[in-house]
Each structure stands twice: as C-alpha cells, then as structure tokens.
Amino acid sequence: MSSINKLTSLSTQTLSLILERQRFPHAAATHDERIQGNMQALRDGIRGLGSSAEVDGLRQQYERMRGMVGGQTLEDEREDERELPPPPTPRKSQEQVYTPYTDDPDPDLEAGIMLQEQRRLMDDQDNHLDALSHSINRQRDVSLQINSELNTHTALLDGLDQDLDMTHSRLNTARRNLERVSKGVKGNGSTVTIGVLILVLLVLIVIFKT
C-alpha cells in the first residue's frame, strides 16, 4: 500500500505541474523535465504493481496525463513493444575454414627442444646445488673443529686462572709471614745479638781447649 500511496502522491504532483504548464505556456520549459521524470517513475511503478482498483485508477490517470502532454499511453507502448520484430538469429557460417600455409617449424618439435633445454637447465641447477651443499657441509665441519679447539683453550685458560689464584694466595701468605718475622726481629733485636755473641764465645772456648 505504501507504493500505491507514493504513486498517488506523485500522480497528483504531476497533474498539478501539467495544469500549471498549460496555464503558463511561457514557463513550460521549467516544468518539462520534472514532468517527464515523474511520468517515467509513474510508468515504471504502475508496471511493477498487480491488478487492483487503485492500480487501475492510477493507470487511467496516467493515461489521461500522457494525453494531456501529447505522449503515448501504456496501451500504446505495449502495442509498440509487441510490434517490434524479434532480433535476427545469428547464422552459422557454412564456409570451410582453411589452415594457412606456414614456414614455421612443427610446434611439437619446438616443445620437445624446449623440454630438453629445461631438463638440461634443471640438471645444471642440481649440480650447482650439490656443490653448494658439499661446500656448506665442509664449512660446517671446519666450524665444529674450531669450536672444539676454542673449548679446549677455554678449559686451559680456566685452569691457568685457578693456578694463578692459588699462587697469589700463597704469595700473600708468605708476605704476611715475612712481615710478622720482621716485626719480631725489630722488637727483640738486642736479645738476638746477645744470644749470637754467647754462641760465638762458646765456639771459641771449645776451639782453644782442644
């Protein structure tokens, strides 16, 4: 029902434009475009609707307005569409198709040559890939050997570092002992001197008695 209401409103507006166009012929050019657009919309809308009393009323009003503007009615348009001749049916050509003569070589032969060339290129690529694979494997072996040697040198350096730490610890201990002895000698210097003199005197007495 909404489509019928819209078409009814459009029909009323179009009729008002047609009447205004007839009353003021000098302004007809300003209304012709709108009238044609509205009439086209009415025609398409009426064709899309079914058959009912309201649709028949719209169709009659449309035909009256077409008559007022000097155009064809819906019935006339249907007659024109029925009178149009059917499109011609395309005919199949009865002429025999001949293959032109050519000096080009046999395409099958060219395909075979191209296939052989592609196989040769693939074989060359396989050989290059094999050589590259051998080179990569050799470099891998060399890298593993270098890694093993580096691990060995690292272990030796770790052992040397431990030995240096032990030597440094021993040197520190000896230095502390020397410092302690030096301090003791400085504190008991006279006692040591007397003891040494007594020892020398005893040695001389023994020598002279013998």
Dist. CA 172–CA 129, nearest whole Å? 63
Task: Determine the pLDDT at residue 173.
Answer: 86
Q: Is residue 100 pLDDT above 80, yes or no?
A: no
What distance, in Å, lies between the first and last C-alpha atoms of the chain?
161
Q: Nearest to residue 55, comparing CAs of 43, 71, 38, 37?
A: 43
Residues 36 and 62 sit within 8 Å (Cβ to Cβ): no
Q: Is residue 134 pLDDT above 80, yes or no?
A: yes
More confident of the two residues 187 and 159? 159
Percentage of residues in the chain having pLDDT higher than 70? 73
Percentage of residues in the chain having pLDDT higher than 90? 11
Dist. CA 66–CA 64, nearest whole Å? 5
In which band, very low, low, confident or very high, does the pLDDT at 80 lie, cut at 50, 70 and 90?
A: very low
Dist. CA 195–CA 189, nearest whole Å? 10
Task: Determine the pLDDT at residue 198.
Answer: 86
In the three-class reduction of DSSP (H, G, I as helix; E, B as strand; rest coil), residue 34 is classed as: helix
Burial (CB count within 10 angstroms: exposed 0-12, middle 13-18, buried 19+), residue 72: middle
In the three-class reduction of DSSP (H, G, I as helix; E, B as strand; rest coil), residue 100 is classed as: coil
In this structure, how many other beta carbons lie within 10 angstroms of the beta carbon of residue 66? 19
Query: 59: which residues sit within 8 A by CB, 6+ positions away?
Result: 46, 74
Q: How does DSSP classify residue 105?
A: P
- Could you tell me the two tokens for 31? 């209304």
Task: Determine the pLDDT at residue 4.
Answer: 75
